[in-house]
Every structure is written in C-alpha cells, then in structure tokens.
Amino acid sequence: MQDLEFIHAFESGEYPPKKIDHKAHIKLAWIYLDLYDEETAISKTCKAIQNFDQLYGGGTKYHTTLTVAAVKVVHHFRQKSSATTFEGFVNEFPKLVTSFKELLYQHYGKDTITNPRAKTTYLEPDLLPFT
C-alpha cells in the first residue's frame, strides 16, 4: 500500500483493525512527518489514532503522551536517516519497532507514562528531553 493510500485508509477507518499495531503507528507518524512539519504531524497523528480508537476501540485505548512521544521519536530518527521509504527507515532503525518501550523509558519514568493524565494530556519527558 502506498503512503497516501495508507493515510487515507487509516483516516477513513477503512484500514483493517486487525492490522493496526505499533509498526502501523510508527508508519503513520513517518508519513505525516514526510508531508508536514513536526507540530502538524503530531496533530494529525493524534487525530487519526483517536478517530481509529473511537471506531474500533471504544475510545479507551488512545494515549496522548505515547502518541506525541512516538512522533517526536520518529522525527528524531528521521533527521539521522538516509532512508527514502518507511521500510528502509525501520530497517535502518529497527528498535523503533522492536524495542520502542525501551527507547521511550530513556525519556520517561514509568510513573509518568502510567499517570492517568498522560492518557489525555501530553506530559513532557521527566528523564531526558526530546531534542
């Protein structure tokens, strides 16, 4: 599926819910960062995932801090990447898919991520800021 087709399918809710996993979220962020500045990519990623959660998760699974942090992490690695495709990008930085929690816990303490406010409000990293 081409990038714009993926975005359309995700935004419209036509993307198969059973195929939504962490890699799909990272791909969504990667594509939006290819099309927009970081702030817009964050907004669009949050909106798309919230909408998908409303359609298929009952609005209970979306987590603001995790979503914003994921876009910020993808943005950080995109700046270091020479990849021109998403598959090339995750091949270059496989930990984005295989060890994302470990990357995240370099920036956030577990208490911050599990704080109930983190689900609805973006909380800044408490260990290491994103640069």
- Chunk the chain into consecutive blocks of 10 residues (it has 131) and report each block's average pLDDT, rounded to whole numbers: 93 92 95 97 97 91 96 96 96 96 95 96 96 76
> How many CB atoms sit inside 10 A of residue 46's CB?
16
Per-residue pLDDT, 131: 76
Q: What is the pTM of this model?
A: 0.94
Separation in Å, CA 126 to CA 38, 61, 110: 21, 23, 10
Q: What is the DSSP letter of 115?
A: S
Per-residue pLDDT, 1: 75
Q: How far apart are CA 44 and CA 70, in angstroms?
A: 13
Give residue limits of the domains in the chain.
Answer: 3-120
What would the two tokens of residue 4 be?
A: 């714009």
